[in-house]
Structure formats: structure tokens, C-alpha cells
Amino acid sequence: MLAALGAEPELTKNREHLLDLGALPSRPGRNASGSSTRTAASQPPSLRRFSAYVLGVIGPETRRDLTRIRKIRNVFAHAKRHLDFDIKEIVELCDFAICKSDVWKTAVGAATLAPREIFVEAVQIIAEGLMCPIALP
């Protein structure tokens, strides 16, 4: 099934490099030999996104989509009043590049989704793409 979604063996190889992100120069947290004690999971999300992009694990469109997901999440997390996906600015942020990909067409088909459904589906597809070797844009 992953081959049908455009799996690329190179992505799996690049993902293995993410395990070594703790060796990248980072903020305080070094052991006696001067090596970083930080793991990839303890890196700030922006550094993890950038590292994944630089290592070729994700492309520029997926990086853009992850940034949009972060922005939408932050809008809802820090709102002082009730928000929903009917707000124009949030609807505009839901214009994900993944929605134009073959992976999206395989997962969603010709269904017309509301902005909230688009957000949820995009998050799920991108998360699955990061965990499994499918080609992300």
C-alpha cells in the first residue's frame, strides 16, 4: 500500500539521521566530553522542523504545512474567547499543500471537507507520513 502512495526508500534513510539530532550543536546540556545530552525529542519544534527539512526528510511544502498547523494550534491555544473554524483567517490557513497531493486524493478522494475536517485530515496524513515512509510534498 505504501508503494501506491509513492513511498521513497530515501526517506527512511533520512529519518534515521533524525535519531542523531542530539549531536547537533545545541543550547546548554553537554556531558563531560562536550557532546550534547539533548535528544531529538528535547529540541525545540522549530529546530526539529528545520532539521527534518535540511536532512531531506520533509520537503518545502510539508515544512510550510507544519508551520501552518503550528499557527492554527497557537491561535486556538492562546485565544481568550471561543474560536472556531469559521473565522476567515483560520480558513485561509487551512490551505495546505498536502491537499493538492496524490496522498490526499488517495485518502480523501473527491469529498468536500469543511475547514476543520481539512485541518484534522492534514494533521493525520502528515503525521502518518512522518512515521511511515510515504512521500510528503
Do both 81 and 121 map to the same domain? yes
Do both 105 and 88 map to the same domain? yes
- 137 contacts: CB under 8 Å, gap ≥ 6: 59, 61, 62, 97, 98, 100, 101
Q: Is residue 1 part of a domain?
A: no
Query: Using 50, 70 and 90 to split pLDDT, how confident is the model at 7?
Result: very low
Give the type of residue at 34: G
Do both 44 and 83 map to the same domain? no
Do both 22 and 50 map to the same domain? yes
Q: Is residue 2 part of a domain?
A: no
Q: Which domain holds residue 34?
A: 7-57
Asked whether the whole model's pTM tops 0.85, one would answer no
Torsion sign over Cα 120, 125, 131, 137: negative
Do both 95 and 122 map to the same domain? yes
Query: Using 50, 70 and 90 to split pLDDT, how confident is the model at 72?
Result: very high
